[in-house]
Amino acid sequence: MTAPSAAPPSLARLWDLYFIAIEIAVAAAILLTDTSAERKWLSLGTVAAMVLLHVTIGARLIRTGRDDVLSFAVLTCHIVLFAVVVIALPVATWLLFVIIPMAFQLASLRVAIVAVVAANAVPVVADLVTGSGSVLMDLVIAAISATAGILLGFWIIQVIRQSTDRANLIAELEESRAEVARLSHEAGVTAERTRLAGEIHDTLAQGFTSIITLVQAADPGLRDERLALAVRTAKENLAESRSLVAALAPSALDSGLLDSVRRQAARFTEETGVQALFRTTGEPRDLPTAVEVVLLRAAQEALTNVRRHARANEVGVLLAYSPSAARVVVRDDGCGFDAGAVGGFGLRGMRARAEQVGGTLTVRSDPDTGTTVELEVPA
């Protein structure tokens, strides 16, 4: 048994207009009929009841495509009201033009066919009840009308299904277009990040390397304090530029978060000469890319801050996994700072990235014990 399909909004609006137009036309015909006032008011009241039933309940059922007790009850009420008005005034038979298509929108195919046959039998029953009209003629008209109505119902169902399929296809195309736009944007961002990483590597990093090489060639022992300071400054900026390249490069996480953070610690030791001990706890596992990026960037930024400000002798880097979270901790034994007073771009950036994935950033620091930066993310 085929259930009715939900009518698309555009077709549903057209149906509402069609329904109201037919009801108004029949009401006008009733007013022009030469009959008693009682019959006219009964017929007009019945037509008004059909309009009210459709506006309050029927239209919503048609839009949702429901096939349940309520939709069956609404269709039955319409047929009963149709029978009342036809018995009162046979001119209301024209309401079949709304009863027939409505049946296929409110009920399954089999129920709708039975409803169409029953609706077309109403004028014949009215003739038998009132004793007026030609029963044989009405039987012929009912047979023709029922056949045409059933064929019309099949066509209505096909139109609704095609419209629904078309609407679904359009929705899928729009979703696909949005996905293509998102992927194109991400590809553009990745390309720009790669370009910037290449620019920094080919200009700043190589420039600092050349400065170090030239100064050391001029004074291998760096006996001149100014030249020694120039070399230290160039090395610090070289390390910073390499950190920027690592941060911008899209392949930073190609080998996984664990290896990426371990490499950051090893690179810190290589570039500064300060031992950076790396360890991990818990069972390492794959995390969402956004979470891994936030954790890696936090480790990079914290190590950069140690390099630039801490004057530390030792650094510890921890990557910890728990069943419900992952966190990265960078601890140094340097000079520390006032964590409440300092709000540099690096810390603000770490905190903002943490908030984007529901994480929290904790910074503890004092001159005696150094600084601890901890970022925890639910995962």
The pLDDT, as a whole number, for residue 123 is: 80
* CA gap 184, 174 in Å, rounded: 15
The pLDDT, as a whole number, for residue 340 is: 60
Q: How crowded is the C-beta side of 4, counted as CA atoms within 13 Å?
A: 27
Q: In angstroms, what CA-CA distances link 65 with 62, 103, 130?
A: 5, 12, 37
219-225-228 Cα angle (round to 5)? 55
pLDDT (tens, 9 = 90+) of the chain, 379 residues, equals: 455 555 566 677 888 888 889 889 989 988 888 888 888 899 899 889 999 988 898 888 888 766 678 888 988 898 889 888 888 888 888 888 888 888 888 877 788 888 888 888 888 777 777 666 666 776 777 677 777 777 877 776 777 778 777 877 887 778 777 766 775 676 667 667 667 766 776 677 778 888 888 888 888 887 888 888 888 888 888 888 777 776 665 555 666 789 989 999 998 998 888 999 999 999 999 888 778 888 988 898 899 889 888 889 999 999 999 999 999 999 999 888 776 655 554 677 788 888 888 999 999 988 888 999 999 999 8
């108004």: which residue's tokens? Answer: 24
212's CB contacts (< 8 A; 6+ apart) are 231, 234, 235, 238
The pLDDT, as a whole number, for residue 184 is: 67
350-353-358 Cα angle (round to 5)? 120
3-state secondary structure 128-160: HHHCCCCHHHHHHHHHHHHHHHHHHHHHHHHHH
The pLDDT, as a whole number, for residue 107 is: 79
Q: Could you tell me the pTM of the whole model?
A: 0.41
Amino acid at 255: S
What are the residues facing 370 on neighbouring strands? 366
Amino acid at 370: G
The pLDDT, as a whole number, for residue 177 is: 78
Give Cα 143 to chain centroid, integer Å.
51
Structural domains for the chain: 9-175 (no CATH), 254-379 (3.30.565.10)
Amino acid at 107: A
8 A C-beta contact, residue 157 and residue 62: no
